[in-house]
Structure 1
Amino acid sequence: MASNPPARPTSFAPGEAHSFGFVHGKDEGPWEEWNPTEESVRPVRGRHRVGKQRGGGLARSSTVLGVGVMAAVGAGGMATAAPGKAPVSISLPDLSSVTHSAKALVADDTDEAPETQAAPLTGAGLTTADTAQGATDAGEALRARIMQQAESQQNQVDSAAQKAAETAAAKQAVALAAKQQDAAQAKEAAAKKKAEEEAAAKAEAERLAELAKSYSLPTSSYTLTSTFGEAGSMWSSGYHTGLDFAAPTGTLIKAVHSGTVTEAGWAGAYGYRTVLTLDDGTELWFCHQSSISVSTGQKVATGDVIGRVGATGNVTGPHLHLEVHPDGAPTGIDPMAWLQSKGLTP
């Protein structure tokens, strides 16, 4: 390092005023000129070392501070003595040499006191590659976590959808099974009902067949000419009250069922009439006979001859007029339906 050039001589006479604006006392002094050199401003080795601050600190060391003060004084070109004191003789060094000395001292201080850099909070001991690798690993970890969460959510959605589909399928299967069961039950009920109806019809047919053995049609070789309920002026009631079996005169008339003869004789518009009362109280009227073969109080069986076909009474030709009066009622019922209920088909 080069030594500072000597300062220009400056002397002040006691009691004189100078351009700096202050006066020296007469009894102050004598004064020596102060010329800072490398040896006088060099810091003590190994003491008061200040670590270098990151980003550029304002104070490097105590030596730099002192040099800065001197530079400020040199730049201002003046110094003020304390009150009551004689002015101090100051030698103003060349500023370029002071700056050069300060830089040298800072460099030398740097050699003696290595820079101490504060460790970063998040990257201590990491190289650039480590930092990049850490950032990559962190990004991959975040991406993996996001993908895992998305996959978990998708699995939940798929599970819920599958569960809903299974529930719907189960409900549909239950509904289908119930529908099929109802259809099967309905079919079974219909088949059962049909079978019951067929069985009932068969039983009724058997009953009627058996009953028909005890019932018989009143005559044979006949033709049905007038049925029950026909309207006409020929009948005093205004309608036909029985069933007419047209047959030749003298055709045999038979007892329809076993019973007792309760009347046999002339009956006005009915001509010769026989009244047969059955065991249940039903009266059968056999009218317009040409002759009567039984008498009142006589018991007859099914198929016994009780008279012959004729044309007596209010008639237009030979025929058997049959009436049915349940419980001896004055108004009769349809003989056709009654005969059918007994298994007979006129």
Structure 2
Amino acid sequence: MASNKPAPEAPSPFRTDSFGDEDRTWEEWNPDEESIRPVRGRHRVAKQRGLARSSTVLGVGVIAAVGAGGMATAQSKPPVSISLPDSIVDNLPDAKSLPGVGAFMSHDSSADQEAVAETAAPLTSAGITAAEADQGATDAGEALRARILQQAEQQQAGADAEARAAQEKAAEEAAAAEAAKQQSEAEAKAAAKKKAAEEAAKKKAEAERLAKLAASYAIPTSSYTITSTFGEAGSMWSSGYHTGLDFAAPTGTPVKAVHGGTVKSAGWSGAYGYRTVLELDDGTEIWYCHQSSMDVTAGQKVTTGDTIGRVGATGNVTGPHLHLEVHTPDGSGIDPMSWLRSKGLTV
């Protein structure tokens, strides 16, 4: 707040100074209640919005307060009556001649009064933007608070937007992963179904092929029992293992051609007893051994199911049976049971 400066030091009681053409004698001035009572006349402080001429010091103090950013306003304070000796007042400079003070001292100009009113505006309006002023903001603290809240809201809105974007992205990624998983499962199911269908078709085709083959191939005898298989080890065989497939059956049971071909040989063959060798069109040889009798001769052509001999017990045997061997065109012996099954026959 502005305050009055102390009165100038009073001169010596007997000091005499000259002001212009007149000499005056100074006396010690001791203000009391009577002397500082408001007086009428040129020293009276006006109660209008302007400041009294004699309030120059007060006006300068108000300007200093306003310039320093103080919170007080000149308009909000009541006028203060100040009385100075005539000797001092007469020698004070004209207030209107002071820079920046003339506008405060005029009582006649409405423009000057408006200037004073603007000067007396609340200091808290400093730092308020034009947009905030248009919205009715008059207090810098409230304006700053509003800005902080607005900035916080903007930051929160940005954070919320980022969170929503992250959630949407995560949802999209999860949906894409789920779609890819479902597509992969669907493809796997389709592939498995296709594979199963292909396998079923393959089995069907193989069954049809074997059925056709079975129609052109035949089991070599009937009423039989498999007693020995290919590859069995034992001392009763000269090679150390069994080289064929034994069909145990009563003596005299017909022995049939398993497929059409040409009789390559028919006669006695040592440990094999009576043996017939049937050569097929692809060069495969079928050996029928231990027969009791033979019904074909070398060079004779036969067809599937023709009787070529009888089950017997000739040669190195322990009982009547048909010993059947299968040899590839290069002479290697193979498993007769596997070969017969490859032709669609059930043994």
1:115 equivalenced with 2:51 (yes/no): no
2:12 is matched with which residue?
70
1:56 is matched with which residue?
5
Residue pair 1:283, 1:328 contacting (<8 A) in 2 also = no
Cα distance in 1, alignment partners of residues 4 and 309 from structure 2: 153
Cα distance in 2, alignment partners of residues 72 and 285 from structure 1: 172
Pick 1 or 2: higher relative contact order, CA cutoff 8 A, min separation 6: 1
Tell me the CA shift for residue 266 of structure 1.
Answer: 0.9
Structure 1: gaps of 5 or more residues: 1-52, 60-64, 75-91
SS in 1 for 2:55: coil
1:152 is matched with which residue?
154
Distance 1:113 1:209, change over 3 A: closer
Cα distance in 2, alignment partners of residues 341 and 253 from structure 1: 20
1:247 is matched with which residue?
249
1:196 is matched with which residue?
198
TM-score by structure 2 length? Answer: 0.69
1:127 is matched with which residue?
76
Structure 1 or 2, whichever has the larger Rg, is 1
SS in 1 for 2:228: coil
2:286 is matched with which residue?
284
1:182 is matched with which residue?
184
Residue type of the alignment partner of 2:55: E
Cα distance in 1, alignment partners of residues 139 and 15 from structure 2: 58
Residue type of the alignment partner of 1:305: T
Give me the identity figure in percent: 60
1:33 is matched with which residue?
none
Cα distance in 1, alignment partners of residues 327 and 346 from structure 2: 19
Structure 2: gaps of 5 or more residues: 17-24, 45-51, 78-119, 126-136
Distance 1:131 1:278, change over 3 A: same
1:50 is matched with which residue?
none
- Output one character per residue of 1:159-178: Cα deviation in whole Å (capped at 9) or x when no partner: 11111111111111111111
Residues matched between the structures, number = 266
Match 1:163 to one of 162, 165, 175: 165
Distance 1:343 1:72, change over 3 A: farther
1:21 is matched with which residue?
none
How do residues 7-26 of structure 1 correspond to structure 2 at under 5 angstroms?
none
How do residues 34-45 of structure 1 correspond to structure 2 at under 5 angstroms?
none
1:27 is matched with which residue?
none
Residue type of the alignment partner of 1:224: I
1:11 is matched with which residue?
none
Cα distance in 1, alignment partners of residues 306 and 4 from structure 2: 149
- Aligned-residue RMSD, C-alpha: 3.2
- Output one character per residue of 1:172-213: Cα deviation in whole Å (capped at 9) or x when no partner: 111111111111111111111111111101110010001100
Residue pair 2:251, 2:310 contacting (<8 A) in 1 also = yes
Residue type of the alignment partner of 1:291: S
Distance 1:340 1:171, change over 3 A: same
TM-score by structure 1 length? Answer: 0.69
Tell me the CA shift for residue 70 of structure 1.
Answer: 3.4
2:319 is matched with which residue?
317
SS in 1 for 2:271: helix
